[in-house]
């Protein structure tokens, strides 16, 4: 039986993200904290898939020079770049916060300050957006780092889902969009909170003995999770660089003592600027790891904005439940920021009932195309599938309850 | 090939950061970012630039340090360059009748707002006046009762729609603009119905300044904001094509 690595993250069910940077290609088999089911690393994307992605990306870059004058391409470009530019600052800030967490907060310190009971830490995490308001783009890099510091799965999911809804900025924008209709704001925030806690606890339950979170492959070989390539001559160059202030200088990458989780090496650096530099490097890596998913999601959203007519979604208005389902689909396709989506939902006022509005307002910040792709940097495929189902089912359940209660939308 | 891979593995990240930094600062310098975002969000782009400078600084301190590249890295680099390439196409553009058609949810969409507008503005309903009051499309759709029966002047783009003609008559067309909450992707159209003198050869998306009497036309019990145009003038695209 192969023993777990000494630096295993305390969170159960974490598996390596990829085997990038490893010199031998033997799959690393790890066991979960209970030592029963062996946890295998995610199989990397097949070469055909990689080649296809490369060709698609290349093809996408040839469209503007060739068909830039076409009105459809211009409309697509406008929506595409808008979504990316709107999300970019938040993602950069989120990456910086993630980098600072990595360098300045140790596993021990984090876990010591968290409540001991899982439900308590989950409830706390779901409401964290009230003091640390983030949108869905910024929350992913932050949660990536927090999970690697030992934040339990339930709390990670609760913050991931609750943060972009249960926050004062979203509350204010919803209030403004719905012309000071406090009912809409209260239902949105409370239902968002309830869903975040419920899904968080359910995920924890379902993945108690199975891997749910990905871990950077570098951590597997005793390196840090920064994603730097530490092998080969180039790494030697890097580490022999005299001007190098990076705290990695002090690492012994062959040593078992290196624990990236607690970041001993980073914290031993007495120079604040060196630690800030290390934080920035981690932030850059986080940004590069997540940003391309944002771009792909934005492209798909822009395509749907260019091709799909919104009034199609009104054709279901006369039926029960269907408006809510159609608005969930619209939220997934549009990929709007949680701080602005209320204005779009409000434009359906008088046309669709309250449950449909809530379906849109709750689904978007928790689950849309770009988030679906960005979750790939955090969760295993199985976990993403189950998380998606749980989110959609929970939102649907809320809309059914609202339908039954028959609360009118003023 | 190995040399190229080695070179790219060392420099693709700084190259990408410089490209993004250059493009975003270009948007800020000539204020073309307002094509994509509302003006206040320029501040967020400044923050983004500062963070990118930090990233670049950190990269420069480990200049030439290799990252994993390969086919994965190449795809990632192309994907992250894509917004910059598409930015060049979208720079001079703004949302037009194509986007209007996709995002418009019928005149009744305005009616929902109208009801609230009527409640709030009913008391202020002014008597008709001969001097044209400058109003925005947002004023007319959010507080229509305030402008009822007044001579108003408004700026917008023309959109002709066969369904609108069927419903409101052959000379009916829509005057519309977009209201941006955060970015062009979440922009929602606001429109009023027009009747009267709009030359038939003025194509969709033509910017006009229209003057006329503002009324609330009855459509199956729903009030529809309508401008009976007396004079319409073609104007160039405004510096700020969107409303905020």
Q: Which domains does chain B have, with CATH numbers?
A: 2-90 (no CATH), 97-234 (2.40.50.140)
Q: Do A246 and B61 touch (CB under 8 A)?
A: yes
Residue of higher predicted confidence among B58 and A316: B58
Interface test with A, best of B14, B186, B189, B221 (most A CBs within 10 A): B186
Residue of B nearest to A290 (CA): B76
Query: Which positions 327-346 of A are in contact with B (Cβ < 8 Å)?
Result: 334-337, 339-341, 343-344
User: From CA A24, how far away is CA A21, in angstroms rounded?
Assistant: 9
Residue of higher predicted confidence among B90 and A394: A394
Nearest to B181 among A243, A246, A340 (CB): A340
Asked if A152 and A11 count as a contact pair (C-beta separation under 8 A), the reply is yes
Asked if B194 and B110 count as a contact pair (C-beta separation under 8 A), the reply is no
The pLDDT value given to residue B107? 60
SS3 A165: coil
Q: Among residues of chain B, what percentage have pLDDT more than 90?
A: 19
Q: Find all residues with CB under 8 Å of B5, minimum gap 6, and list them.
A: B69, B70
The pLDDT value given to residue A301? 83
Tens of pLDDT, residues A170-204: 888 888 788 788 999 999 999 999 999 999 999 99
The pLDDT value given to residue A191? 95
The pLDDT value given to residue B161? 81
CA-based radius of gyration for chain A = 22
Q: Do B102 and A310 touch (CB under 8 A)?
A: yes
CB-count exposure of residue A288 (10 Å: 0-12, 13-18, 19+): buried
- Say how far residue B170 (Cα) sits from the centre of its chain: 28
- Whether the complex's predicted ipTM is more than 0.95 is answered with no
pLDDT at B143 over 70: yes
Q: Where are the domains of chain A?
A: 70-405
Q: Do B78 and A61 touch (CB under 8 A)?
A: yes
How far is the alpha carbon of A115 from chain B, nearest alpha carbon, in Å? 33
Q: Find all residues with CB under 8 Å of A358, minimum gap 6, and list them.
A: A184, A187, A188, A191, A324, A395, A398, A399, A402
Nearest to B102 among A227, A288, A309 (CB): A309
Tens of pLDDT, residues A327-352: 899 899 887 878 778 877 887 777 78
- Report residue B46 as tokens: 């400044």
What is each CA distance from B211 to A276, B170, B227, B230, B241, in whole angstroms? 60, 20, 8, 6, 19
The pLDDT value given to residue B29? 93
The pLDDT value given to residue A217? 43
Q: Does A175 touch chain B (CB under 8 A)?
A: no
Mean pLDDT of B89-102: 84
Tens of pLDDT, residues B145-202: 888 888 889 999 998 888 888 877 778 888 999 988 888 888 888 888 888 777 878 8
User: From CA B53, how far away is CA B34, in angstroms rounded?
Assistant: 22
How far is the alpha carbon of B119 from chain A, nearest alpha carbon, in Å? 12
Q: Do A21 and B68 touch (CB under 8 A)?
A: yes
Residues of chain A with pLDDT under 70: 1-46, 215-270, 410
The pLDDT value given to residue A264? 43
Q: Among residues of chain A, what percentage have pLDDT more than 90?
A: 19
Q: Find all residues with CB under 8 Å of A203, minimum gap 6, and list them.
A: A153, A154, A157, A212, A383, A386, A387, A390
The pLDDT value given to residue A45? 57
User: From CA A199, how far away is CA B179, in angstroms rounded?
Assistant: 35
Nearest to A50 among B33, B59, B72 (CB): B72
User: From CA A105, how far away is CA A282, in angstroms rounded?
Assistant: 13
Q: Do B182 and A305 touch (CB under 8 A)?
A: no
Residue of higher predicted confidence among B48 and A22: B48
Mean pLDDT of B95-123: 61
**DSSP-H helix ranges across A105-246:** 107-113, 118-126, 136-148, 153-162, 168-177, 182-206, 217-220, 232-240
Nearest to A283 among B55, B90, B101 (CB): B55
Q: Does A64 touch chain B (CB under 8 A)?
A: yes
Tens of pLDDT, residues A349-368: 777 889 999 999 999 999 98
- Report residue A234 as tokens: 């180039």
Give the pLDDT band of residue B99 (cuts 50, 70, 90). confident
The pLDDT value given to residue A197? 95
Strands B222-234 and B133-134: unpaired
Query: Which positions 346-365 of A are in contact with B (Cβ < 8 Å)?
Result: 347-351
């Amino acid at each position: 039986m192969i023993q777990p690595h000494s630096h295993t993250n305390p969170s159960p069910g974490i598996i390596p993200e990829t085997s990038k940077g490893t010199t031998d290609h033997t799959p690393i088999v790890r066991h979960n904290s209970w030592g029963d089911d062996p946890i295998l690393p995610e199989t990397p994307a097949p070469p055909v898939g990689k080649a296809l992605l490369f060709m698609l990306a290349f093809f996408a870059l040839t469209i503007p020079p060739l068909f830039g004058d076409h009105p459809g391409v211009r409309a697509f470009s406008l929506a595409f770049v808008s979504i990316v530019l709107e999300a970019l600052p938040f993602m950069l800030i989120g990456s910086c916060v993630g980098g600072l967490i990595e360098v300045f907060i140790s596993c021990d310190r984090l876990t010591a300050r968290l409540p001991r009971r899982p439900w308590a830490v989950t409830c706390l995490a779901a409401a964290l957006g009230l003091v640390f308001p983030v949108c869905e783009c910024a929350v992913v890099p932050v949660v990536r780092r927090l999970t690697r510091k030992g934040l339990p799965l339930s709390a990670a999911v609760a913050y991931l889902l609750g943060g972009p809804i249960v926050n004062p900025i979203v509350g204010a924008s919803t209030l403004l969009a719905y012309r000071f209709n406090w009912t809409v704001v209260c239902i949105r925030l409370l239902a968002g909170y309830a869903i975040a806690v419920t899904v968080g606890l359910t995920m924890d339950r379902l993945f108690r003995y199975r891997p749910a979170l990905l871990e950077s492959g570098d951590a597997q070989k005793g390196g840090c999770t920064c994603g730097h390539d530490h092998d080969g001559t180039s790494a030697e160059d890097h580490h022999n660089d005299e001007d190098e202030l990076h705290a990695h200088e002090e690492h012994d990458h062959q040593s078992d003592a290196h624990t990236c989780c607690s970041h001993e090496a980073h914290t031993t650096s007495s120079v604040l600027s060196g630690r800030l530099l290390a934080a920035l490097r981690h932030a850059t890596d986080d940004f590069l790891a997540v940003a391309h998913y944002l771009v792909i999601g934005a492209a798909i959203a822009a395509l749907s904005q260019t091709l799909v007519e919104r009034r199609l979604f009104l054709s279901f208005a006369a039926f029960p439940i269907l408006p809510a389902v159609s608005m969930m689909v619209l939220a997934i396709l549009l990929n709007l920021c949680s701080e602005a989506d209320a204005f779009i939902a409000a434009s359906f006022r008088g046309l669709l009932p309250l449950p449909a509005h809530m379906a849109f307002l709750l689904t978007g910040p928790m689950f849309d195309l770009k988030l679906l792709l960005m979750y790939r940097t955090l969760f295993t495929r199985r976990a993403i599938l189950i998380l998606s189902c749980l989110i959609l089912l929970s939102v649907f359940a809320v809309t059914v309850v609202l339908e039954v209660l028959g609360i009118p939308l003023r | 090939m190995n040399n190229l891979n080695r070179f790219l593995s060392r420099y693709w990240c700084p190259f990408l950061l410089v490209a993004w930094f250059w493009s975003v600062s270009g948007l800020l310098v000539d204020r073309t970012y307002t094509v994509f975002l509302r003006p206040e969000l320029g501040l967020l782009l400044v923050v983004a630039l500062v963070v990118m400078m930090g990233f670049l600084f950190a990269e420069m301190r480990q200049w030439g340090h290799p990252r994993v590249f390969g086919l994965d890295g190449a795809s990632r680099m192309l994907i992250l360059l894509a917004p910059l390439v598409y930015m060049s196409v979208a720079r001079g553009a703004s949302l037009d009748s194509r986007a209007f058609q996709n995002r418009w949810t019928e005149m009744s969409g305005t009616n929902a707002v109208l009801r609230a507008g009527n409640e709030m503005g009913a008391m202020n309903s002014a008597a008709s006046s001969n001097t044209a009051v400058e109003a925005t499309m947002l004023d007319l759709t959010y507080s229509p009762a305030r402008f009822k029966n007044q001579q108003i002047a408004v700026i917008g783009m023309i959109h002709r729609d066969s369904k609108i003609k069927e419903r409101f008559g052959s000379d009916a067309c829509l005057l519309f603009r977009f209201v941006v909450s955060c970015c062009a992707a979440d922009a929602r159209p606001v429109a009023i119905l027009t009747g009267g003198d709009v030359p038939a050869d003025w194509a969709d998306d033509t910017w006009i300044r229209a003057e006329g009497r503002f009324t609330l036309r009855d459509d199956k019990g729903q009030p529809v904001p309508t401008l009976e145009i007396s004079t319409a003038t073609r104007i160039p695209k405004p510096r700020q094509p969107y409303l905020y």
